[in-house]
Amino acid sequence: MNQKQKYFIHILASAFITFIMCFFMSSWSVISGFQAFFESGQNVELTAFVYEGVPEEKIQNFINTYRKHPEVIAISRQTAEESFKALKAELKIFDFQMKGVDMEQVLPQIITLKLRHLDTRLINELKLNRIVDELLDGRHWLQKNESIIQVLKGASILMAILCLSSLVLSLTLLIKTQVQIEKDEISLRAMHGESLWSLKKSYVIKSLGITLFGTCMGIILSSTAASILQTKVLTQFQIQNLAEQIKPLGPEQAFPFIAVCLLVGGIVGYMQTARFEKDFYLQR
């Protein structure tokens, strides 16, 4: 293998590692964005049912109190008649009165509170408020969001595992192939007295160099991808809340990530030279 072919393999390996790093880290950014989006709870809506018999004054009081609450973005009110119409349209039920019951009189008014965060204290407070007879939907949304957050947390961890596994796999293949190709040269160097560590060092440095290049390029490209997604795509489709949460990796995430990748790269490089002692030095 001549020098040109060696350089070509190194460039190819660096590009490949850059690609997988970029791919996984972009996915990571997006997943983290979704996670933050759901954690921020901006789409959490609590639906309170107010049944017949509650005085109008109390309902207005309730609305006025929580409208000023810092966690509440908006409050909307749907009368029994409106909720009946909505239900009728949604469920296509036309025979509410067929059994002799006036369903419109039975159905409650609906007060919908849009919350900024998943604030359990506020939810408990709402539950304790006597005007709100039920808060079923709120509980439902809370649980749903928590499940989504758990899934996204799992996905983030999975992405990190996949990212590092791909790094390990591609570096292992590269160094293994290179050692195999350069076996004759390694053997000659060992035969002429090159020290074991000196032989190993060149592969460890190679492994670290490729890891550093691939990881840094991956971070730069994934940050660019996240930035484009944030500014162009999501904003264009007016998904502002989500766009605000999808942030490119910052130094506080990038540096530990590079450090972990370098550690992994160094270990992989060293592991691939583990047989050097037996193959080229002493068969004790």
Binding site for other proteins (CB under 8 A): 1-2, 184-185, 187-196, 277, 281-284
Mind giving me the DSSP string for 1-42?
--HHHHHHHHHHHHHHHHHHHHHHHHHHHHHHHHHHHHHHTT
The DSSP bridge pattern shows strands 109-115 and 72-78 to be: antiparallel
Going 178 to 183 to 189 to 193, the CA torsion angle's sign is positive
The length of the chain is 284
Torsion of CA 247, 250, 253, 256, to 10 degrees: 160
Q: CB of 282: closest distance to other proteins in angstroms?
A: 6
Q: CB of 254: closest distance to other proteins in angstroms?
A: 37
Q: CA angle 158-162-164, nearest 5°?
A: 120
- The DSSP letter of residue 75 is E
Q: How far, rounded to the nearest angstrom, does the alpha carbon of residue 97 sit from its chain's CA centroid?
A: 49
d(CA 218, CA 237): 27
- Asked if residues 218 and 28 have their Cβ atoms less than 8 Å apart, the reply is no
d(CA 183, CA 206): 16
Computed on alpha carbons and rounded to an integer, the radius of gyration of the chain in Å comes to 30
Q: CB of 184: closest distance to other proteins in angstroms?
A: 6
Q: CA angle 112-115-119, nearest 5°?
A: 120
d(CA 23, CA 194): 40
Q: CB of 3: closest distance to other proteins in angstroms?
A: 8
